[in-house]
Amino acid sequence: MSSVADDLHHDEHHDHKPAGIMRWLLTTNHKDIGTLYLWFAFIMFLVGGAMAMVIRAELFQPGLQIVEPNFFNQMTTVHGLIMVFGAVMPAFTGLANWMVPLMIGAPDMALPRMNNWSFWILPGAFLILLASLFLEGGGPNFGWTFYAPLSTTYSNDSTALFVFSVHIMGISSIMGAINVIVTIFNMRAPGMTWMKMPMFVWTWLITAFLLIAVMPVLAGAVTMVLTDKYFGTSFFDAAGGGDPVLFQHIFWFFGHPEVYIMILPAFGIISHIVPTFSRKKLFGYSSMVYATASIALLSFIVWAHHMFTTGMPLFAEMFFMFATMLISVPTGVKVFNWVATMWRGSISYEMPMMFALAFIVLFTIGGFSGLMLAITPVDFQYHDTYFVVAHFHYVLVTGAVFSIMAAVYYWLPKWCGKMYDQTLAQWHFWCSLISVNLLFFPMHFVGLAGMPRRIPDYALQFADFNKWISIGGFAFGLSQLIFLALIIKASRKIGEPATAQVWDGAEGLEWEVPSPAPYHTFETPPEVK
């Protein structure tokens, strides 16, 4: 633990940074680490996206054309794992690293050396996962939810690598979460009381608590899969007195809070952008905080709504149905608050706001389908169809990913000191918006019409929609290359110089430091009124 103490003074004495790769390998600076996380997340987003392209190419028309079913299953599995653990979660951690110290007036994260570690073990985890695809027999092919016994008795030997890599991802997330919590608790500038904290900080604090509560449960689940497969235990094997459904209970006890881990920080981001571009204070700040906390608490008692078809008794089905429906109340409060913030504001449409508006509408559509899925008797029809795929992609792509893009546009001038390229931004937004809906909206239709998820080939009545879905998919994938070009341009310091405040409606400590933000900020804590 003494290293923690050393860390605190580390940067104060070494103002110059080492050159080249060593700067990035050894850095303990929250801005460097935030940048590393964000680039890593973006690379993983492209890798996971490439896998989605393989999936959509295979599903472009009925019949098997491009890949074998076994490889198709590996693609769906690894696409899910990479997007969840490699893209969305690290992107949010990157944003937290960059912005939380700036927003609370702290010089750095509380535990800079641990911060370095928590990032640098991540690429290792994903190299292991990706390498497993090249083994004989291929990588994990049991879906990102790795239901036993498909992942135990009936899986191939890449499972050991899969378990190892999930363990490392979990450790990384937990270290990141501990860092965020300690930073927020101990390093706030004088005068920044709990109820003066920016929403992004609040949502991340709650997210971090969710992370340390459920990532260890995931670690437990993968450990049980490992021992069931290799060491003769029978947690999930009926022959030895176990129960395969138990796996699903443990997995979803992690899995449902995980869903909120991926959306709560998004709520925080949107709660900054909407007021900035409406030039009006966030409506209902305290109800936003309470709503976030109650969503987090409710997320622990709704897990079995993923398992209605496993054969639960009536009372359990009722309980999980009602509890799940309840979540829409605090979520609704958030959406209403955003709209009320815009109401009688003075709204302008810069790119962060465009993405935030798209987020509000499309995330709400995902929320509606979520409410429909909560109704147990109807869920029997929706469960494991493309309707579910449409639902969670609306929540995660047009929800979480759009919020991350909004955040990048919002803070990029602060990071790089230059405005992003307006033309590229317009192209990126409109191409993404149109293609993402072409990609995911028709999935509702094929799902309702009866197309199960995770199939490499489908009956003929689904053919027309799948063609359009695939076209939407390719277009959405290509649109992200525009985003890549835009970010490269800004990070090479090409563009209009940005002012310290950047946006005329922006409020908060992060806008009081110059743009680009200097390597060291708030070495003397600011005073918060």
- Per CB under 8 A, contacts with other proteins among 187-206 are 187
Among 166, 250, 264, 469, which residue sits at the site for other proteins (rule: CB under 8 A)?
250
The alpha carbon dihedral of 479, 483, 484, 485 has a sign of: positive
Among 66, 339, 481, 488, which residue sits at the site for other proteins (rule: CB under 8 A)?
339
The C-alpha angle 363, 366, 367, rounded to 5 degrees, equals 90
Query: Nearer Cβ to other proteins, position 178 or 485?
Result: 178
Q: Which of residues 357-376 bind other proteins (CB under 8 A)?
A: 357, 360-361, 364-365, 368, 371-372, 375-376
What is the closest distance, in whole angstroms, from the C-beta atom of residue 145 to other proteins in the complex? 8
Query: Nearer Cβ to other proteins, position 182 or 513?
Result: 182
Query: Nearer Cβ to other proteins, position 124 or 216?
Result: 216
103 makes contact with other proteins (CB under 8 A): no
Query: Nearer Cβ to other proteins, position 269 or 388?
Result: 388
Alpha carbons 483 and 349: distance in angstroms, whole number? 18
What is the closest distance, in whole angstroms, from the C-beta atom of residue 298 to other proteins in the complex? 13
Among 102, 133, 219, 506, which residue sits at the site for other proteins (rule: CB under 8 A)?
219
Among 26, 54, 160, 217, which residue sits at the site for other proteins (rule: CB under 8 A)?
217
Alpha carbons 308 and 374: distance in angstroms, whole number? 9
Q: Which of 81, 70, 84 is nearest to 141 (CA)?
A: 70
How is residue 176 written in tokens? 């990141």
What is the closest distance, in whole angstroms, from the C-beta atom of residue 31 to other proteins in the complex? 20
Active site residues per annotation: 79, 108, 144, 172-173, 256, 258, 260, 271, 305-306, 331, 334, 453
Query: Nearer Cβ to other proteins, position 132 or 480?
Result: 132
Query: Nearer Cβ to other proteins, position 3 or 423?
Result: 3
Q: Which of residues 423-482 bind other proteins (CB under 8 A)?
A: 445, 448-450, 452-461
What is the closest distance, in whole angstroms, from the C-beta atom of residue 483 to other proteins in the complex? 24
Question: Rounded to 5 degrees, what are φ and ψ at 283?
Answer: -75, 130
For 90-133, give the DSSP string. Answer: HHHHHHHHHHHHHHHT-SS-S-HHHHHHHHHHHHHHHHHHHHHT
Query: Nearer Cβ to other proteins, position 203 or 341?
Result: 341
How is residue 399 written in tokens? 């929800």
Where do we find the tokens 């919020």?
403
How is residue 352 written in tokens? 């962060």
The alpha carbon dihedral of 10, 15, 21, 24 has a sign of: positive
Among 316, 475, 478, 513, which residue sits at the site for other proteins (rule: CB under 8 A)?
316
Q: Which of residues 158-177 bind other proteins (CB under 8 A)?
A: 174
Query: Nearer Cβ to other proteins, position 185 or 519?
Result: 185
Q: Which of residues 371-400 bind other proteins (CB under 8 A)?
A: 371-372, 375-378, 380-381, 383-385
What's the Cα-to-Cα distance from 137 to each of 58, 142, 159, 225, 447, rounded to whole Å?
20, 13, 11, 19, 31
Among 18, 190, 191, 240, which residue sits at the site for other proteins (rule: CB under 8 A)?
240
What is the closest distance, in whole angstroms, from the C-beta atom of residue 228 to other proteins in the complex? 11
Helix (H, G, I), strand (E, B) or coil at 263: coil
442 preceded by a cis bond (ω within 30 of 0): no
Spatial contact of 433 and 383, defined as CB atoms under 8 Å apart: no
Query: How many residues make contact with other proteins (CB under 8 A)?
Result: 133
312 makes contact with other proteins (CB under 8 A): yes
Among 80, 94, 149, 366, which residue sits at the site for other proteins (rule: CB under 8 A)?
149
Among 44, 87, 89, 110, which residue sits at the site for other proteins (rule: CB under 8 A)?
110
Query: Nearer Cβ to other proteins, position 20 or 232?
Result: 232
Q: Which of residues 341-360 bind other proteins (CB under 8 A)?
A: 341-348, 357, 360
Spell out the residues 6+ positions from residue 197 whose beta carbon is closer than 8 angstroms to its own. 103, 104, 184, 188, 205
How is residue 218 written in tokens? 């995931």
20 makes contact with other proteins (CB under 8 A): no
Instruction: Single out the segment in contact with other proteins by CB under 8 A; choices: 88-96, 116-124, 234-242, 514-522.
Output: 234-242
220 makes contact with other proteins (CB under 8 A): yes
Spatial contact of 106 and 179, defined as CB atoms under 8 Å apart: no
Q: Report the 10 Å Cβ neighbour count for 211.
A: 25
Alpha carbons 26 and 33: distance in angstroms, whole number? 10
Instruction: Single out the segment in contact with other proteins by CB under 8 A; choices: 41-49, 181-189, 390-398, 478-486.
Output: 181-189
Q: Which of 422, 458, 400 is nearest to 72 (CA)?
A: 458
422 makes contact with other proteins (CB under 8 A): no
